[in-house]
Amino acid sequence: MAAESINKKGMLVAGGWVLPSPSRKSLEVKNPYSGEVVGVLPVATAADVEEAVSAAERALPVLGKLPAHRRSAILEETAKRIEALGEELARTITLESGKPIKDARGEVGRAVQTFRFAAGEALRIHGETVPMDAHKAGEGRFGFWMRVPVGIVGAITPFNFPLNLVAHKVAPAIAAGCPVVLKPASQTPLTAVRLGEILLESGLPEVALNIVFGGGGTVGEWIVGHPKIAKISFTGSPPVGRRILERAGLKRVTMELGSSSAVVLDEDADLEKALPRCVLGGFAQAGQSCVSVQRIFAHERIYARVCESLVRAVERLRVGDPLRDDTDVGPMIAEAEAARAQAWIEEAVGQGAEKRLGGTREGAVLAPTVLVGANNGMKVMKHEIFAPVVAIAPFKTFDEALGLVNDSIYGLQAGVFTRDVGKAFRAIRELNVGGIMINDVPTYRVDHQPYGGVKESGLGREGPRFAVEEMTTIKMVVFNL
Ligand code: NAP
């Protein structure tokens, strides 16, 4: 059967679609499961990025004149169209990312919510009056502050949520009145193209969204270093985040980075509830989520039972073709990534961990893997593995467990299963992370919550309300009466 090509358009620059041509370099998008080319896109030159930024600059006054209710209506219309095109979008996500189709459908549903919440936020951007006469120098003055768009947003996104993580940047930017220059991940740009079409069909002024493709080290860096871009909104790995911070200068920056997310299963944990959540959190989309369950700390009294039950549950996962409705675990994004994760597994085994399940690989498909007797010194716990691999270790006391969770360079989200409300509050107080899930896994997220991390996991927060705050700036006004 011929490869399914899903690319109909190209780059979106200044309201026009730039198609691949022999005079330009092109980017082949491959299905990570079959290796087939599913789309070809043009690679942006420095001149294309310049044109995209100029178009975004022209969009500033256009968006500035667009009333909040219109911006909200465009976002609501986009949500409706994404919902209506759900299956097509899910298929595009699966073909370019290898994500199982059921997870891709879930991602489409979440993107609908992200646009709907952003549509609501567009209507709520406001300021406050300031009691000027609280100080003698303020007598006879009337003051207030308001929020204004920060300017052009440069959005750089990763491969693992090709639709919803683009939505988390583009939707709040439109709500805030900011034009966008978007560079999606080179492995998964096709869904972003389709989203661009949908936004234009939903009434977004043409120049307000520009989408360019190409390598992070070229196109990404041109965006980051561009003096007319006011804010960089980045989701991706910590090393790239650091590089962007070095180059961004005085731009506003939001960094949604990686993690080695942990779950604590205390001795009284409801395992009936906890274990299925750990399986989902650890293995959905082949563990390639920033809040995948990677480290499980189980109380020593339940440790053996946790290891055994988890292995039994993971054995039942269906692995293979991501387009099949019943597939739980598909390929990783690339064979090289699967080989890297496999090498980390073998290194952990060499350091004393026991491989209870998995560790084998066929191309980009790494078998779901459970390691027991692991520790925080091993790469499989210390660094983000971003693979269908879960490592389990025992603990004696709850304080020790909290210490083990905090013993990480990352701090995105953590999960704690306990029936003791006192311990739950201790975890809330002591865990140094951006989000804590009591009686759930760190993988839990709704799209309107504040989402982001501390330490190497990032700076700033997403979730439409919080992203709008980061994409607007405060302007103070004083009347001398
Ligand atoms: P990545 O390698 O850091 O790439 C992310 C994006 O940055 C891509 O568009 C990439 O372009 C671009 N890029 C690379 N080098 C760049 C540079 N020097 N300047 C500007 N842009 C550059 O990440 P990934 O492998 O796609 O995604 C996985 C990572 O994302 C994991 O660490 C995961 O935890 C993190 N993530 C975090 C969150 C969160 O919300 N906290 C959510 C999802 C994923 P190319 O594709 O062309 O290389």
Q: What percent of the chain has pLDDT over 70?
A: 98
**Least confident stretch, 5-14, 136-145, 185-194, 450-459:** 5-14
Is the model's pLDDT at 102 over the cut of 60?
yes
Is the model's pLDDT at 186 over the cut of 50?
yes
Query: For the chain, which residues make up each domain, given as ranges?
Result: 2-257+458-480, 262-446
Catalytic residue among 51, 256, 384, 470: 256
Looking at the CA of residue 259, tell me the nearest atom of ligand 1. 34
Q: What pLDDT, in 10s, does the model give residues 34-50?
A: 999 999 999 999 999 99
Does the beta carbon of 205 sit less than 6 angstroms from any atom of ligand 1? no
Is pTM beyond 0.95 here? Answer: yes
Determine the 3-state secondary structure of 96 from DSSP.
helix
What pLDDT is attached to residue 1?
A: 39
| CATH 3.40.309.10 is right for the domain spanning 262-446 | yes
For 275, the token pair is 């274990």
CA angle at residue 96 from 174 to 289, to 5 degrees? 70
Does the beta carbon of 159 sit less than 6 angstroms from any atom of ligand 1? yes
What pLDDT is attached to residue 9?
A: 83
Q: Which letter, b or e, does each residue of 227-262 get, where b requires 16 or more Cβ atoms within 10 Å of its Cβ?
A: eebbbbbbbbbbebbebbbeebeebbbbbbbbbbbb
Contact 8, 178 (CB under 8 A): no
H helix runs in 98-228, sequence order = 101-122, 164-176, 190-201, 221-225
Does the beta carbon of 258 sit less than 6 angstroms from any atom of ligand 1? yes
Is the model's pLDDT at 61 over the cut of 90?
yes
Contact 291, 413 (CB under 8 A): yes
What pLDDT is attached to residue 5?
A: 61
Does the beta carbon of 269 sit less than 6 angstroms from any atom of ligand 1? no
Q: Is 256 a catalytic residue?
A: yes
Q: Strands 295-299, 262-265: parallel, antiparallel or unpaired by DSSP? A: parallel
User: What's the fold here for domain 2-257+458-480?
Assistant: Aldehyde Dehydrogenase; Chain A, domain 1 (3.40.605)
Q: Is 290 a catalytic residue?
A: yes
How many CA atoms are closer than 13 Å to the CA of 100, on its beta-carbon side?
A: 23
Does the beta carbon of 160 sit less than 6 angstroms from any atom of ligand 1? yes
Query: What are the CA-CA distances from residue 480 to residues 133, 138, 475 (Å)?
Result: 12, 9, 16
* CATH topology agreement for domains 2-257+458-480 and 262-446: no
Rounded distance from Cα 475 to ligand 1 centre (Å): 32
Q: What pLDDT, in 10s, does the model give residues 347-369?
A: 999 999 999 999 999 999 999 99
